[in-house]
Amino acid sequence: MIEQLPPRKPLPPAVRERMRRKIMAGHGGARTPMAAAVAVTVLVAGGAILAQSTQGADTAALAPPSTTSSAPRGPLEPDLRAVPASAEDLRLCEFTHARFTVPMPGRRLVWADEGFCELTYTTVAKSKTSGALSGQEGMAVQWRSPTGVVVGQAPKGTAQAEATVTWWRERVSVLLHQGRFVLAPGPQHIDLTFTSEDLRRTTERIDAATTPGDSTVREVFPRPDPTEQDKMVARCLDHAMRQNLPGAERPEAWRAGALASAAPGTGLLVLRDGIGETLYCQLANGMPETVNLATRGASRGVVLMLDSAHGGPSALDAYVGGRVDDRVASMVVTYRDKQGAVSVVDGTFAVHFAEGTSGPGYELDVTKLHVRALDAAGAVLHDGPLMP
């Protein structure tokens, strides 16, 4: 006799969102994750909210969540549209003519007969393949950009195109224009359905791992002769723009704050703007791995505010970052009798704890952090736990 299993229940929305973000995290280009687990802690009105996100997992092994409806959900990206290519698009892409440009959060896809070009805040990527349509009848994928935009030829006679995440039935934005399709970045497996004028439907599966993506990429920076820190700041903002984080579309408003490093170009960089928002950028070899946004308004009487705690470049390193009162000039931060390397810059702080403070199954316990904060004259402003 086979026992009757209990009915399957949909996952809670918060769990579904965490799983979706985990799958989506890789579509900006695969890099080795800096840590097996990353914990993000936000201090809100005296209480800590802890959310843990495991990185580096085999996303293909994740089972799709159960659902009671097969209707596609909202798109993962805003609706796409084609606009004329600007003179700046042509200059950066080194094209004499382009058919159109498709703006997306943090990027612009330029389509020309001679090839494809993707523009971000710090990169210009050009395909090694032609942008001209082939004479074949069916679909043809022509290029996948470094950030995950997929472009190609639609089947002849196509009147409508729709893209959904394989298994999840969650829509991904796709543009059909002039017999061509432009697919917004998404997870590895996406089902692309084309409907012809006589209402015949064909579905093709897009596999990012096998989609052609040969490109030449060069970096461009907003400042002439940028320092290494200028480059890291710009790359972090580029990453934030592609995540469509609020405020990232105003790159001129952000400035570098504290930097805690395990090695040159590797660590936690804090960025702040002038209206109380803070970005935490985790770096490896000068390139961003994760970017998190914490929003804070101005406050009085608060010396320290913890915004985030991260795993480090190895499974045993840890970083802590936050904002401090403008009076704070230096800090001593200890954890279980180990002293961290602290940076305090422009009302922000970042701390690096070397091996032995974090790791799989042994996350940094922020309630055990002890802080001694001093002003420029050496007077103690705070001496006690970081968490109130």
**What own/partner pairs with CB < 8 Å and gap ≥ 24 does 371-378 have?**
371/304, 371/331, 371/332, 371/333, 372/331, 372/332, 372/333, 373/303, 373/304, 373/324, 373/328, 373/330, 373/331, 374/328, 374/329, 374/330, 374/331, 375/327, 375/328, 375/329, 376/327, 376/329
Q: How many CA atoms lie within 13 A of 353 on its CB side?
A: 28
Q: Are 358 and 316 in contact (CB under 8 A)?
A: yes
How far apart are the C-alpha atoms of 183 and 193, rounded to whole Å? Answer: 12
388 residues of the chain, pLDDT tens digit each:
333 434 444 444 444 444 544 444 444 433 333 332 233 333 322 222 222 222 332 222 222 222 333 444 555 566 899 999 999 999 999 999 999 999 999 999 999 999 999 999 999 999 998 999 877 788 999 999 999 999 999 999 999 999 999 877 789 999 999 999 999 998 889 999 999 999 999 999 999 888 888 999 999 999 899 999 999 999 999 999 999 998 999 999 999 999 998 888 888 999 999 887 889 999 988 999 989 888 654 333 345 555 555 555 455 678 888 888 889 999 999 988 889 999 999 989 999 988 655 544 456 777 888 999 999 999 999 999 877 6
Give pLDDT tens digits for 87-109.
Answer: 999 999 999 999 999 999 999 99
Q: How far is CA 66 from CA 7, 13, 53, in A?
A: 10, 12, 21
pLDDT, residue 77, reads 60
pLDDT, residue 151, reads 96
Q: Are 245 and 325 in contact (CB under 8 A)?
A: no
Count of Cβ atoms closer than 10 Å to residue 276 Cβ: 13
Q: Are 172 and 76 in contact (CB under 8 A)?
A: yes
Q: How far is CA 172 from CA 28, 163, 164, in A?
A: 15, 5, 5
How far apart are the C-alpha atoms of 119 and 222, rounded to whole Å? Answer: 13
For residue 292, how far is the Cα from the chain centroid? Answer: 8
Q: pTM of the predicted model, to two decimals?
A: 0.77
Give pLDDT tens digits for 19-33.
Answer: 544 444 444 433 333
